[in-house]
Copies of this chain bind each other. A is one copy, B any other.
Amino acid sequence: MQKGNDRKLKLVPLGGMGEIGKNITVLEYGNDIMIVDCGMGFPEDEMLGIDIVIPDISYLIKNKDKIRGVVITHGHEDHIGSIPYLLKKLEVPIYGTKLTIGLIEKKLIEHRLDNKCLHVVNHDDKIKLGCFQAHFIRSNHSIPDASCIAITTPVGVVFHTGDFKVDLTPVKGEPIDLHTIAEYGKKGVLLALSESTNIESPGYSLSEGSLSNNFIELFKKAKKRIVVATFASNVHRVQQIIDAAKIFKRKIVISGRSMVNVIDVATNLGYLDLNPDMIVNVNDINKYKDKELVIISTGSQGEEMAALSRMAADEHRKIELRQGDTVIISASPIPGNEKSISQVINLLYEKNIEVIYDKLYDIHVSGHAKQEEHKLMLALLKPKFFIPVHGEARHLKKHAELAEKMGIKNKNIMVIKTGDMVEITRKEMKLGQKIQSGNILVDGLGVGDVGNIVLRDRKHLSEDGLIIAVVTIDRSSGTVLSGPDIISRGFVYVRENEDLMVDSRAAVQAALEKCFANNVREWSAIKSAIKDELSKFIYSEIKRRPMILPIIMEVRNS
């Protein structure tokens, strides 16, 4: 028989609360743990040099014997991107629909990891994970094969929407399974977890299918090459581009590593209807007339290294864009990317290329539910308890307000943070202890070896540069054998500022002499003196505070 405390369901988001990305939610009951999603986050501006961010999974490692499996809602990076790092620490089975698992598999190969932990499920499948039962329910999103997960737990049903929209005319496949969702609502949902990305947008998101004609219209007008940049994982968008190309008898060139990868997986698994005869290898691009080609490309977010940015900057090795070409950016900016996209658009305009982008044309729809769809979801589910997920504080707050308007009692709605444990019974939902959580920074091969101090130094270096003052001293006599030398990086043009450098050296020299005169012999005290003196001098001269690094080399003259 279980102890009192164990009769509670525990819910712990290890990411995705109060942030966009890094989605991972842990459900625990007695001796069983199951996990929903295992995504990566994107570095904030102040995380200089960081490649990706993954969740701290110490809690899972500590409880590894309890883990029964991970269910994945869909194949986007913020839901699958941390799986390789999880698998390097833990041996756990992973469940997802076919395309989702296909994309995870590609990722494991890159990390040289075994794929035997991966299990394909179909929509409507129910899988048993200890005391939990997870039911995969068809949903709509900007990637095919997305799922809501209805989790039957000993205390009741927990319904996780995943990322979703309600698309009644999707391009391929079927609309979100409203019947099953309604059925759960009728039988009773204890707790709903629902995504919050577009909660600030009124109305109803447009259907993916609404774009087809717009592509056809734009393709009709294009006189030369067409480039369409979009998210690689938006397979239905890619399908519409291919379909439009077919109408105008244009061949397809695929550009960008992730675009090649996803189209490869999606075609092999039957999610994309693409005749191999339509594909032109990028090396053969010049064998075709401009009017015969559509280039499907990455870089819709203005990413510096992506295909479109390289084309715009004339740095693409294979594809050169020319006056009269048309570039369609079929995406809207993810917050933070506005300036880099704008830069790409400007570079293209400067080449007299026609640029079609979201602000001026209807060539993109969001994959996330807007307010009316959220209302529909809540109306169908009628959950007793509600926790908004996947969003910054502003989104979670607005979603909570919407839920209250939809009739959920204020005391039954919680806005929580990553690392908060929520304890749930049939009757009650309350905050439990705080669980270790946070961001692990990945830089190159290093996982977690860059943290706040290193980032603070990077920021300091990036804003003000560095001055090194180096001197070799005879330990015994305390005389200077060599130096002081002044070396700087990222500070000022040295050649134009010779006086400043000469005077800096003099400042260090003065600091040293003062130390010796006062019989200061401790290296740390001398270093401090150099740092203070030099810092003061530089600030008085030029009002900047470069990082100052005094180095004392010590020689023992025998």
Contact = CB atoms under 8 A, between A and B. Distances in A.
Interface in A517-558: 541-544, 547, 549, 551, 553-555
A193 interface: no
Interface in A40-79: 44-45, 48-49
Contact of A49 (B465, B471, B482, B493): B465
Contacts of A547: 489
A542 B446 contact: yes
A23 B224 CA distance: 36
Contact of A335 (B338, B444, B553): B338
Nearest to A465: B458
Nearest to A391: B346
A468 interface: yes
Nearest to A445: B543
A346 B549 CA distance: 37
Contacts of A459: 462
A58 to B, nearest CB: 16
Contact of A472 (B49, B345, B464, B481): B481
A393 B312 CA distance: 13
Residues of A contacting B: mostly: mixed
A449 B492 contact: yes
A307 to B, nearest CB: 20
Nearest to A415: B349
A457 interface: yes
B450 A543 contact: no
A528 to B, nearest CB: 16
B18 A346 contact: yes
Contacts of A18: 346, 350
A492 B450 contact: yes
A1 interface: no
Contacts of A355: 394
Interface residues of A, number: 71
Interface in A294-331: none
A445 B335 CA distance: 33
A489 B466 contact: yes
A461 B49 CA distance: 9
Given A466-B466, A493-B450, A551-B468, A339 B339 contact: no
A502 interface: no
A450 B468 CA distance: 18
A443 interface: yes
B360 A200 contact: yes
Nearest to A336: B339
A392 B339 CA distance: 11
Nearest to A452: B493
A277 interface: no
B342 A394 contact: yes
A417 to B, nearest CB: 8
B394 A555 contact: no
A397 B348 CA distance: 11
B490 A461 contact: yes
Contacts of A48: 462-463, 490
Contacts of A553: 470-472, 482-483, 485, 553
A283 B275 CA distance: 73
A45 B48 CA distance: 12
Contacts of A549: 468, 487, 489
Given A468-B468, A542-B446, A462 B338 contact: no
A451 interface: yes
Nearest to A346: B393
Nearest to A545: B444
A496 interface: yes
A457 B555 CA distance: 31
A18 B351 CA distance: 13
A2 interface: no
A282 interface: no
A272 to B, nearest CB: 32
A491 interface: yes
Interface in A254-269: none
A453 to B, nearest CB: 7
Given A481-B472, A489-B549, A542-B446, A461 B454 contact: no
Contact of A394 (B346, B393, B464, B471): B346
A427 interface: no
Contacts of A112: none
A433 interface: no
Given A349-B394, A458-B465, 17 more contacts: A18-B350, A49-B465, A345-B392, A350-B393, A360-B398, A450-B492, A455-B490, A459-B462, A461-B465, A466-B489, A468-B468, A470-B470, A471-B553, A472-B472, A481-B555, A482-B555, A485-B551
The 3 A-B pairs of least Cβ separation, nearest first, read: A462-B462, A49-B463, A444-B543
26 contacts: A48-B462, A49-B462, A335-B342, A336-B338, A338-B338, A342-B392, A350-B393, A443-B544, A444-B542, A445-B544, A446-B542, A450-B493, A451-B493, A454-B492, A457-B490, A458-B465, A458-B490, A461-B465, A461-B466, A462-B462, A470-B470, A470-B553, A471-B553, A472-B555, A482-B553, A487-B551
